[in-house]
Amino acid sequence: MYKLIRLLRPYRFAALLAPLFMLLEVTMDLLQPRLMASIVNDGVTAGNLGHITHTGTLMLAAAAVGLIGGVYSTIFSTIASQNFGGDLRQELFEKVQSFSIRSLERFESGSIVTRLTGDIVQLQNMVMMSLRMFPRQIFQFAGSLIMALLISPRLTVILLVMIPVVLLLLVAFTRMSIPLYGNVQEKLDRVNLAMQENLSGIRVVKAFVRSDYEEQRFGSRNSHFLQASLKAARLMALNTPLMAMILNFSVVAALWYGGILSEKGLLSVGDLAAFLTYITKLLFATLGMGSQLMTISRAKASAARIYEVLDTPSDSSGDREITISHSQPQVIDTINGRLAFEHVSFSYDSNLHHAVLRDIDFIAEPGQTIGIIGVNGAGKSTMVSLIPGFYPVTEGRITIDHMDINKLDTEKLHQVVGMVLQQALLFSGSILDNIRYGKPRATMEEVIEAARLAEAHDFISRLPQGYDTVLGQRGVNLSGGQKQRISIARTLLLKPGIIILDDCTSAVDLQTDYRIRSSLKLVMKNSTCLIIAQRIASIQHADLILVLEDGRITARGNHDTLLASSRLYKDIAASQQGA
């Protein structure tokens, strides 16, 4: 958790002033019992009204100064903690954006959301408390102990017996609470994940009448979260009564022993009242520190979860680190488009016994169209995901213009390789914003040209606001085919040297699919195009068609060649002609 202190450096002025103003407030607060004792001893007992008035005025002035100190302490601690939380949230989000796909798959989306929100709030509150309330308790504890000692060293013996007991309890509670709060946050991850899955798939839930099942699933995870929270809360609930019992015992002991000293004339009534006030302040400060140590324990669990993300290697320093560790990555601006798979094998766990791709070997020359077909689970999408470096190749290598992709600058590689996924993902905002997503400064003419190529311009123009139409979450107010065409336009706007279409026209009709492919062939004639398709019609005019079975290329050639040589390709074609 101490590693995060670096984020407070830009706000060190506010972070320093907050406890200093709190020290001012506590100092004024600690003066009050002594002034009150003076009123009792030298004013009330002696019948000196002037002394009472003078000392009362001093008490009011001290209270006013203390108020100023408290207000400014709150202001500066808020400035420091809120900026700390904002910077940490930004750093964590940027870290997540830098992850490779493999790194990202270590965390569930619900878990990342919880870390970006709940865990950071815990740390933000901890910083606020550490700059304001925790210093207050420490100053009040130390100041009350000193003032009590100055009033009566004999009575202070009671405190010396009580303090070690309290400290032992605080250490014990802190050690027990850290794992409990870590478990609470993990259960909260599961609750958030269930909620996200339900909301993103609400149409499927409604279509299959599974609301009852989803309610039970959410209820189960919510119940586990509740039980974990109650377990942690019970520990905190036990802390307060124990501390209160020690407080009450100490007050009773001080009254008993102080009464004896007062009866013998060794302690005035005013000093006894002041001592009781200081011992109460000291014990309440101890009680507050106990409560705040629980908060620190929870924040420590949250800090561990945040550092789990921050310590995960990013795309530029993780999967590709071994390859480029001894040389600078090559920066490319343009490419010709020659793509080669050289005996590539791949496994998600880097164990070739579990390989999902085996000995993939082919060359796509600039301007060629490569069709890829096979049954579900054959490894088609996995194969093209290796081209932009989403996953590291387990064996063999992939080259673009004879350059190993592992030696290329990641960001530039993603700019020259365009990919359109089957699951069209649109962002909140206008259609124009979504098409310009990869090229924010594109002109309107460029946007319209890309939309025309993707057969999207006509339906966009018919919308009431046209390109300024605001999309609902994930483009919910568009059909599946419309979303796919906007996704295609978004990629075509970049004019990439290599374009990958991963079954991205599955939701459009055959005529629209044909027009899209015709436009691509005409305008993107210098780009290498890889098309994954379930429909033979989408790839039958490709220069080369690869047939994948169980992660291997079992046949290759053009449409006519494969009809004669590949049983699987022939069966797929026959089934679709029959349909």
Burial of 373 by CB count in 10 Å (0-12 exposed, 13-18 middle, 19+ buried)? buried
Cβ neighbours around 206 below 10 Å, total: 10
pLDDT tens track of the chain, all 579 residues?
667 778 888 998 999 999 999 999 999 988 888 888 778 777 777 677 888 888 888 989 999 999 999 999 999 999 999 999 999 999 888 888 877 777 777 776 667 877 888 888 888 888 998 898 889 988 988 888 888 888 888 877 777 777 788 778 777 877 787 788 778 877 877 887 787 777 666 666 766 667 788 888 888 888 888 888 888 888 777 777 777 787 778 778 877 887 888 777 777 777 878 888 888 888 778 777 777 777 777 788 788 888 888 888 765 444 444 344 445 556 566 678 889 999 999 988 778 888 899 999 999 998 888 999 988 888 888 899 899 888 888 899 999 988 888 888 777 888 888 888 777 778 878 889 888 988 888 899 999 988 888 888 888 998 888 889 888 666 667 877 888 888 888 888 888 888 888 877 666 677 777 777 777 776 667 788 898 888 888 888 888 999 999 889 999 999 989 998 888 988 888 887 754
Q: Do the strands 544-549 and 357-364 form a parallel or antiparallel pair, or are they unpaired?
A: unpaired
Contact (CB, 8 A) for 82 and 7:
no
Residue 384, CA distances (Å) to 71, 451, 487 in order: 60, 24, 17
Show the DSSP H helices in 201-210 as ranges. 202-207
Q: Residue 357 in contact with residue 382, Cβ under 8 Å?
A: yes
The C-alpha atoms of residue 35 and residue 45 are separated, in whole angstroms, by 14
Q: How many CB atoms lie within 10 A of CB 531?
A: 25
**Is the pTM for the entire model greater than 0.75?**
no
- Structure-token match 């890309």, residue found: 450
First-residue to last-residue Cα distance in the chain = 62
Closest among 544, 527, 528, 503 to 370, alpha carbons compared: 544
Q: Which domains does the chain have, with CATH numbers?
A: 2-310 (1.20.1560.10), 368-378+417-578 (3.40.50.300)
Rounded Cα–Cα distance for residues 325 and 407 (Å): 10
Helix/strand/coil (H, E, C) string of 290-350?
HHHHHHHHHHHHHHHHHHHHHCCCCCCCCCCHHHHCCCCCECCCCCCCCEEEEEEEECCCC
CA distance 139 to 360: 69
Distances (CA, A) of 10 to 16, 59, 83, 125: 12, 38, 9, 18
Residue 374 near residue 353 (C-beta atoms within 8 A): no
From CA 492, how far away is CA 482, in angstroms rounded? Answer: 15
